[in-house]
Amino acid sequence: MLPRAYEGQDCSIAGALGVVGDRWTLLVLREAFLRNHRFEDMQRRLGVARNVLTDRLARLVEDGLLERVRYQERPERFEYRLTEKGLDLWPVIVALMQWGDRHRDDGRRPMVLYHRGCEGEVDDRRMCTACGAALNPGDVEAVRDGARRRAMAPA
């Protein structure tokens, strides 16, 4: 844990890490960006312990990055959707992915982000490599190993 008081404390990087400075938290958010909004899907894909996932989801809701939305009445079922505050983390997630791609030992890119309907890719400033447009989450689809394209943004 970070101490309450240190010289470099008045810092928005430290503030951000206080909210998302945990690997599971960012991977849960990754799943939300990939439209996997439901507990069971997230749990299966992440292989995370249920109590850990429950904890991270509750914190993300409390911190206002996800909202819990009912999608079924009987029995009641809920899913987790990104708020504006959560969507604002997209640049962090894209930057982490691009750094990870660049420094992989195998030189592969497990997932590629395309400008939807354009064939250009998302460059390191989140601009389209083909048309130059400044891209936002809703403009982009994530393609894994040539599989069916998936939106990298919530519906």
Binding of residue 133 to a copy of itself (CB under 8 A)? no
**Residue 155 DSSP code:** -
**Judged by CB under 8 A, does residue 92 bind a copy of itself?**
yes
Pairing of strands 77-82, 111-115: unpaired
C-alpha to C-alpha distance for 81 and 25, rounded to whole angstroms = 14
| Residues of span 19-78 touching a copy of itself by CB under 8 A | 19-24, 26-27, 30-31, 44-48
Q: Which is nearer to a copy of itself, 75 or 134 (CB)?
A: 134
Q: CA 38, CA 81: separation in Å to the nearest integer?
A: 9
Nearer to a copy of itself, 31 or 79 (CB): 31
Task: Tell me which of 104, 130, 131, 133 binds a copy of itself, using CB under 8 A.
Answer: 104
Q: In the chain, at which residue ranges do the beta strands (DSSP E only) sit?
A: 66-72, 77-82, 111-115, 140-144, 150-151
| Dist CA 23 CA 69 (whole Å) | 24
What single string gives the DSSP state of each residue in 23-62?
Answer: HHHHHHHHHHHTT--SHHHHHHHHT--HHHHHHHHHHHHH
Of 69, 96, 130, 133, the one binding a copy of itself (CB under 8 A) is 96
Q: How far is the CB of 12 from a copy of itself (least distance, A)?
A: 3
By CB under 8 A, name the one of 111, 118, 143, 151 that touches a copy of itself: 111
Residue 83 sits in the site that holds a copy of itself (CB under 8 A): no
Summarize as ranges the residues that interact with a copy of itself (CB under 8 A): 2-3, 5-24, 26-27, 30-31, 44-48, 85, 88-89, 91-104, 109-111, 124-127, 134
